Amino acid sequence: MAQKRNHRKPHSALARDQRLFANSRVWTWEGLASPDNGQAYTTAENRTPFGWTVLPHDLAQQLVKRPRNWFIGVRALCRAPDGAEWMESRLIDLPSRNIQQVSNAYHELRADTLAAQRTSQVYDMGWICQTWSGKRPEDPMELWHYHYAPEGIIRQATNDEKLIRRMAGPGFSQERYDRWQQVNREYLEDRKRVLEQENAA
């Protein structure tokens, strides 16, 4: 008696990886410190049927080390002397690339974002990268890059109260402003030193 053939497709680690990280994001704010050690920290999250969940370190490393389709955004939180707030941002798409290999994109986007603002009005700066799979999603307002921005800034892009509550992060504080101003000074000094070394080589 002939055996029935198994028509299931062979297991593909790559296909499983692409499904697992089809809707993931990595983000940070330079002026927000970890409550554990006071240092800046990066958060990696994955979309599940139960909402966004934080990825453990090993999965976060897997997320960023393989080529994927990425939205990349650099954003500056700004506040005028009269209390008005807004977010200045620069966005690019990066299909089928490994974001660990494009660090210069961050430096360029960061400089371009800050060039449009008075540094004295910026109280934090950060970046966010989000994956997509298949056809690029349509998002006219680019709401993905408002994640963990202050509530008042998100309201400038949407009036969906449920979405605002889910996305909102902390807002302006003098401590956050002071910390970011110091981080920015150190960042600019480091970049100047690196560029000088590269030009001398």
pLDDT of residue 179: 95
Q: What angle do CA 107, 126, 62 make, to 5 degrees?
A: 80
Q: Give whole-number Cα distances, 64 to 45, 102, 141, 174, in Å.
A: 12, 11, 25, 33
pLDDT of residue 159: 95
User: Would you say residue 72 lies in a domain?
Assistant: yes
User: Would you say residue 6 lies in a domain?
Assistant: no
Provide the residue range defining the domain that includes 111: 19-200
User: Would you say residue 3 lies in a domain?
Assistant: no
Up-side HSE of residue 141: CA atoms within 13 Å toward CB? 12
Which sign does the torsion angle of CA 54, 67, 17, 130 carry? positive
User: How far is it, in rounded angstroms, from Cα 106 to Cα 51?
Assistant: 28
Contacts of 121 (CB under 8 A, 6+ apart): 78, 79, 80
Q: Give whole-number Cα distances, 117 to 21, 75, 159, 192, in Å.
A: 34, 11, 26, 20
- Split into its structural domains, the chain has a count of 1
- Each of the 201 residues of the chain gets a pLDDT tens digit; together they read 555 555 555 556 777 787 889 899 999 999 998 877 777 788 999 998 888 999 998 999 899 888 899 999 999 999 999 999 999 999 999 888 888 777 678 889 999 999 999 999 999 999 999 999 888 888 888 999 999 999 999 999 999 999 999 999 999 999 999 999 999 999 999 999 998 998 987
User: Would you say residue 181 lies in a domain?
Assistant: yes
User: Would you say residue 13 lies in a domain?
Assistant: no
User: Would you say residue 10 lies in a domain?
Assistant: no
Reading the block at residue 103, the tokens are 């660090």
